[in-house]
């Protein structure tokens, strides 16, 4: 970017999220947000991301917490997101998170998709009713998409079972520690960066309590492999 142009850009930060390590990293979100921010007169000072399910509570994510801490410390007031589903896929969590960022911290939020939306406080320090209505619609869409993904997955399993193509997980099969931690990176993140109880972690990520315990055991380095029960 031209040095003179860059000098005229205001600083902002970006946040991204991918659900699993199999989806790769968030480089694409980062690159798109750089271009989007520039078109709005901003330069991304930093980009933060998490690899964790959208069902997870936003404020428990390590990348999100680092982003918020960095923004407050460096007095950055503008945050860019590629879409609302990157914030989360639960209506209540998304609305609470956005309201907190805008109404309590005073951030201006840019959401690239759809239609380059902006959420910011009005003269009373609140998100106005039209913005809040749009936020509710977008967050509801994100949660509905999560629901239909789950429905399609279960329907696919049922079809595969009827056609004798579904094997499921083989009882007694073994994952290495590295494979286990990569497969459950959302649990790893919560174990490392939160004080949530095992049952709460299981509820947050939508996985079994036994899986949480296996991940914690692997993190402690007490085994080099783990069995699927």
List helix spans (H) across the chain. Answer: 3-7, 27-39, 62-73, 84-87, 91-99, 129-162, 177-183, 185-193, 198-205, 209-219
Contacts 24+ apart (CB under 8 A), 67-71: 67/13, 67/15, 68/101, 68/105, 70/13, 70/46, 71/13, 71/105, 71/107
Q: Are residues 186 and 129 part of one domain?
A: no
Inside any domain, residue 44: yes
Q: Are residues 15 and 105 part of one domain?
A: yes
Out of 4-8, 15-19, 48-52, least confident range: 4-8
Inside any domain, residue 165: no
Inside any domain, residue 91: yes
Inside any domain, residue 163: no
pLDDT confidence bin for 190, thresholds 50/70/90: confident
Q: Is this prediction's pTM over 0.75?
A: no
Q: Are residues 106 and 183 part of one domain?
A: no
Among residues 90, 118, 140, the one where a domain terminates is 140
Inside any domain, residue 151: no
Mean pLDDT of 83-99: 87
Inside any domain, residue 178: yes
pLDDT confidence bin for 143, thresholds 50/70/90: low
Q: Which of 45-49, 164-168, 203-207 ranks highest by mean pLDDT?
A: 45-49
- In this structure, are residues 169 and 229 in contact, taking their beta carbons and an 8 Å threshold? no
Q: Are residues 130 and 24 part of one domain?
A: yes
User: Which pLDDT score, from 0 to 100, does residue 131 have?
Assistant: 83
Q: Are residues 190 and 130 part of one domain?
A: no
DSSP 19: S
pLDDT over 90 (residue 99): yes
pLDDT over 80 (residue 209): yes
Among residues 93, 123, 140, the one where a domain terminates is 140
Inside any domain, residue 149: no
Q: Are residues 96 and 25 part of one domain?
A: yes
Q: Are residues 180 and 136 part of one domain?
A: no
Q: Are residues 178 and 136 part of one domain?
A: no
Q: Are residues 188 and 80 part of one domain?
A: no
Structural domain total, the chain: 2
Q: Are residues 47 and 100 part of one domain?
A: yes
pLDDT over 90 (residue 201): no
Q: Are residues 134 and 215 part of one domain?
A: no
Inside any domain, residue 79: yes
CATH label of the domain that carries residue 74: 3.40.50.1390
User: Which pLDDT score, from 0 to 100, does residue 169 have?
Assistant: 54
Among residues 140, 161, 186, the one where a domain terminates is 140
Q: Are residues 105 and 58 part of one domain?
A: yes
pLDDT confidence bin for 211, thresholds 50/70/90: confident
Residue, of 206 and 89, whose pLDDT is higher: 89
Give the tokens for residue 175.
């994952």
Domain that holds residue 204: 174-227
């Amino acid at each position: 970017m031209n040095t003179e142009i860059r000098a005229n850009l205001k600083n902002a930060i970006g946040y991204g999220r991918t659900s699993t390590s199999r989806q790769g990293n968030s480089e694409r979100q980062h690159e798109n947000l750089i271009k989007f921010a520039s078109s709005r007169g901003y330069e991304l000072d930093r980009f933060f991301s998490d690899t964790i399910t959208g069902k997870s509570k936003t404020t428990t994510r390590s990348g999100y917490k680092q982003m918020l801490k960095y923004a407050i410390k460096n007095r950055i007031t503008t945050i860019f997101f590629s879409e609302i589903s990157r914030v989360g896929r639960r209506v209540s969590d998304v609305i609470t998170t956005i309201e907190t960022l805008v109404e309590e911290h005073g951030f201006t939020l840019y959401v690239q998709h759809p239609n380059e939306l902006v959420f910011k406080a009005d003269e009373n320090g609140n998100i106005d009713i039209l913005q809040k209505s749009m936020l509710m619609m977008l967050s509801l869409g994100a949660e509905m998409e999560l629901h239909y993904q789950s429905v399609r997955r279960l329907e696919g399993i049922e079809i595969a079972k009827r056609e004798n193509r579904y094997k499921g997980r083989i009882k007694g099969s073994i994952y290495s520690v590295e494979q286990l931690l990569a497969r459950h990176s959302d649990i790893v993140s919560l174990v490392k960066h939160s004080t949530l109880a095992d049952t709460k972690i299981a509820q947050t990520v939508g996985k079994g309590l036994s899986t949480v315990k296996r991940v914690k055991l692997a993190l402690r380095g007490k085994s080099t492999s783990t069995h699927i029960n």
